[in-house]
A and B are shown apart, each in its own frame.
Chain A
Amino acid sequence: MTLLIILILCFPLAGFLITGIGFKQIPARVGARIASGSIVISFILSICISALPLYAQTTRLVHLFPWISTAQLSIGFDFLIDPLTRVMLLIITGVGSLIHVYSIGYMKDDEGQNRFFSSMNLFVFFMLLLVLAANYAIMFIGWEGVGLCSYLLIGFWYKNQEFTNAAKKAFIMNRIGDLGFLLGMFLLFTTFGSLDFIKIFPVAKSIPSGSGTMIAITMLLLLGAVGKSAQIPLYTWLPDAMAGPTPVSALIHAATMVTAGVYMIARSSILYALAPQTMFVIVLIGIFTALFTAIIAVYQNDIKKILAYSTISQLGFMFIALGLGAFTGAMFHLTTHAFFKALLFLAAGSIIHALHGEQDIRKMGGMKKYLPRNWWVFLIGTISIAGIFPFAGFFSKDQILCATYEKSLTLWIFAIIGVALTTFYMFRLLFLVFSGSFRGDEKKLNGIRESSGVMMKPMIVLGFLSFAGGAINLPAFTGINAWLSSYLSPVFADSETLLQTSSHHADNMSELLLAGCSMTVVLIVIFITWSIYGKNRIVAQENYPEKNFLIRLAVNKFYVDEIYDFLIVSPLKKISDFLSYWVEIRFIDRIINGIGSLTIRSGNLLRYLQTGHVGFYLFMMVVGIIAILLFNIVLI
């Protein structure tokens, strides 16, 4: 077991080291294959650890070595392997290896290939560290590490100033969240005297629900999760993060890294179960993010930006589920989302590739004719995210909708609006890209062809998963046992007893009704979308010229970036300018220069004492001695 865990971690690390250190020596083709191979091996090992009867049953704590040990604090390099970790391991290495394989094709002509693959491998390593961690400190290593890799990969094409700015933005935004995580960690330590999950959680159970400390801890950790999972108010980095190569967007900014926040909250579910106020805040953040970013997505014209906002919106749904105590639902949606969003990104990537870097959907159209296979996988992804029976997205979304309904009808209505918006922007994207005729520059159509097999095959696998992934957790009305729920139940059992969520489950009939309701809504929205963008082939205008104030707001992403600029960035810049001019140049520099020139000037004056007359020196010496004597006498 220990060896397996070490190997799972070591293969991505080895891949990183090999491709990273030898990035000039190793030919790009070889480097890409080494990197992909290492993730695939990790995936196989993860399957072993999850499926082999020898390992699969137990929740195990693997102790590697004591990492930090002082009188009060002892942190071991420990790994915890339980069902939640296994699910995450499979998602990360599974989706990760598919995306790595896809990248072999996607990055074929890029000169920085080895750099790309080494960063990707490092990312997978840190992500695995994050989910394997048995205490918050190790988790924090992974947490910071994925942030770093995200920065490296967003700014992968570092010669473009805009891209490096996007990378910096992502890094800084994440840093705000990380501060919350760190403070939460400190507070956990002062409260429980340990950072180990297995030591904290049993003790936490005895703490009364809603105590101030628990609220503070969970709120601080939530800040970390909000930063990492790109929720309001720290979401603006994610759309900008689309500056990176598309496989990066698929792996990091859709399938895995952004789910770290969701994972962390699910992992700390007991703490959250004890802080109902925080849970309420999570629901609020989730619902607000889900709707807000979905509205923005409707008015975007960049294919990757739409998917980015869609990701934020879907993460919002996961947060709703978390806030309602439906931890399994959140994990389920995380899983299916990893499948279909990775698929959508990869498909979008191959469209961009086929069109020689075109990303504006207004300049696409008619791709069904040119890229039929791409159309099919994209269609599967779109249907899955919209949530049409029997695709994976339907089941996971249905579970979240159910949870909202159990809480309150209003919440359910908000959620269903979110689902409708999701359907709308995704089908808008689908119709604008694939149906109608090509609207862009004819030159872009030169040599247009389907992606090569190495890119197509991962998409087909993901397409299959987006279709069938729902089978892992079928709702109760199908009569089949929900596998994921029962698999994860030992992890969430305690927190669910604390929350007493299982007591008032909606019965099968109303669940079926809800599913029917959401299906109807989705189908109606698809029809509306089709009638706007599919049938009439309306091409979205260049800019919506002041049609409507609200629309203009949405087109400009509600000016959130500008508001942040105005409220935080520009005051910060002004303060920095003030400090650098008035304090640094005018004050500190002057003091330093003053000391220097004082020395020079006084030296200039005093050097005339060096007369060169020995007699004078002797005289001064005697005077000095007498002065010292007199001084002593005065003192005594």
Chain B
Amino acid sequence: MMTLTNNLQIIPITYYLFFCAALFCIGVTGVLIKRNALTILMSIELMINSVNLLLAAFSAYRNDPAGQIFVFFIMVVAAAEVAIGLSIIVVIYRTTGSIDIDVLNKLKW
């Protein structure tokens, strides 16, 4: 166990930080520029996973397993959330015949 952590700690934490930030930004950009609901959902997943990765990295660097336990919990929650998100998209597709989010503009002032 110690060796694994030690090996991980060889890579500096800043690398993880930059990598996760980049991943997160890609996710945000995907959410903002894509109009396909499915792609947006995937981008959100990307954001969640970037945060998860960061959590695991910090956990390893601080020698504290709690962070990694959290990652598992978050993954479970994310899976449930994706299930709901996908089912909503299925319903949207059935009613509108499309998964383009710009079609969903009925609910406004």
Interface membership of B109, Cβ < 8 A? yes
Contact between B31 and A618 (Cβ–Cβ < 8 Å)? yes
Interface membership of B94, Cβ < 8 A? no
Interface membership of A613, Cβ < 8 A? yes
From the candidates B32, B35, B40, B105, name the one contacting A612 in the complex (CB within 8 A). B105
**Which B residues are in CB contact (< 8 Å) with A611?**
105, 108-109
From the candidates A608, A613, A618, A619, name the one contacting B105 in the complex (CB within 8 A). A613
* Closest chain B CB from A125 CB (angstroms): 68
* Closest chain A CB from B48 CB (angstroms): 14
**Which B residues are in CB contact (< 8 Å) with A612?**
104-109
Contact between A622 and B109 (Cβ–Cβ < 8 Å)? no
Interface membership of B8, Cβ < 8 A? no
**Which A residues are in CB contact (< 8 Å) with B104?**
612, 614
Interface membership of A615, Cβ < 8 A? yes
Interface residues on A, range: 10 to 19
- Determine which residue in B40, B104, B107, B109 has the highest number of CB atoms from chain A within 10 A of its CB, and name it: B109
B-contact bits for A182-194, CB 8 A (1 contact / 0 none): 0000000000000
From the candidates A608, A610, A615, A622, name the one contacting B35 in the complex (CB within 8 A). A615
Closest to B105 in A: A612
**Which B residues are in CB contact (< 8 Å) with A618?**
31-32, 40
A618 to B31, CA, bound (A): 7
Known: A613-B102, A614-B101. A619 touches B32 (CB 8 A): yes
Q: Interface on chain A toward B: helix, strand, loop, or mixed SS? A: helix
Total A-B Cβ pairs within 8 A: 32
Closest to B40 in A: A618
Known: A613-B102, A615-B101, A615-B102. A608 touches B32 (CB 8 A): no
Interface membership of B38, Cβ < 8 A? no
Interface membership of B28, Cβ < 8 A? yes
Closest to B33 in A: A615
A622 to B104, CA, bound (A): 20
Interface membership of A601, Cβ < 8 A? no
Interface membership of A443, Cβ < 8 A? no
Known: A613-B102, A614-B104. A607 touches B32 (CB 8 A): no
* Closest chain A CB from B88 CB (angstroms): 12
A615 to B33, CA, bound (A): 8
A608 to B105, CA, bound (A): 13
**Which A residues are in CB contact (< 8 Å) with B31?**
618, 622
* Closest chain A CB from B15 CB (angstroms): 22
* Closest chain A CB from B13 CB (angstroms): 20
Closest to B35 in A: A615
* Closest chain A CB from B99 CB (angstroms): 11
* Closest chain B CB from A622 CB (angstroms): 6
**Which B residues are in CB contact (< 8 Å) with A622?**
28, 31-32
A618 to B105, CA, bound (A): 13
**Which B residues are in CB contact (< 8 Å) with A608?**
109
Closest to A612 in B: B108
* Closest chain B CB from A400 CB (angstroms): 87
Which residues A603-634 have CB closer than 8 A to chain B? 607-608, 610-615, 618-619, 622
A-contact bits for B14-29, CB 8 A (1 contact / 0 none): 0000000000000010
Closest to A625 in B: B28
* Closest chain B CB from A623 CB (angstroms): 10
Closest to A626 in B: B28
**Which A residues are in CB contact (< 8 Å) with B107?**
610, 612
Closest to A621 in B: B31
**Which B residues are in CB contact (< 8 Å) with A613?**
101-102, 105
Which residues A573-621 have CB closer than 8 A to chain B? 607-608, 610-615, 618-619
**Which A residues are in CB contact (< 8 Å) with B101?**
613-615
**Which A residues are in CB contact (< 8 Å) with B105?**
611-614
**Which B residues are in CB contact (< 8 Å) with A615?**
32, 35, 101-102
* Closest chain A CB from B20 CB (angstroms): 15
Known: A615-B101, A615-B102. A610 touches B32 (CB 8 A): no
A611 to B101, CA, bound (A): 13
Which residues B75-109 have CB closer than 8 A to chain A? 101-102, 104-109
Known: A615-B35, A615-B101, A615-B102. A610 touches B28 (CB 8 A): no
Known: A615-B101, A615-B102. A607 touches B28 (CB 8 A): no
A41 to B17, CA, bound (A): 98
Which residues B22-53 have CB closer than 8 A to chain A? 28, 31-32, 35, 40
A-B CB contact pairs (8 Å), 20 listed = A608-B109, A610-B107, A610-B109, A611-B105, A612-B105, A612-B106, A612-B107, A612-B108, A612-B109, A614-B102, A614-B104, A614-B105, A615-B32, A615-B35, A615-B101, A618-B31, A618-B32, A618-B40, A619-B32, A622-B32
Can you name 20 extra interface pairs (CB under 8 A) apart from A613-B105, A615-B101? A607-B109, A608-B109, A610-B107, A611-B105, A611-B108, A611-B109, A612-B104, A612-B107, A612-B108, A612-B109, A613-B101, A613-B102, A614-B101, A614-B102, A614-B104, A614-B105, A615-B35, A618-B31, A619-B32, A622-B28
Give me the 4 closest cross-chain CB pairs, A-B, nearest first.
Answer: A612-B108, A612-B105, A614-B101, A607-B109
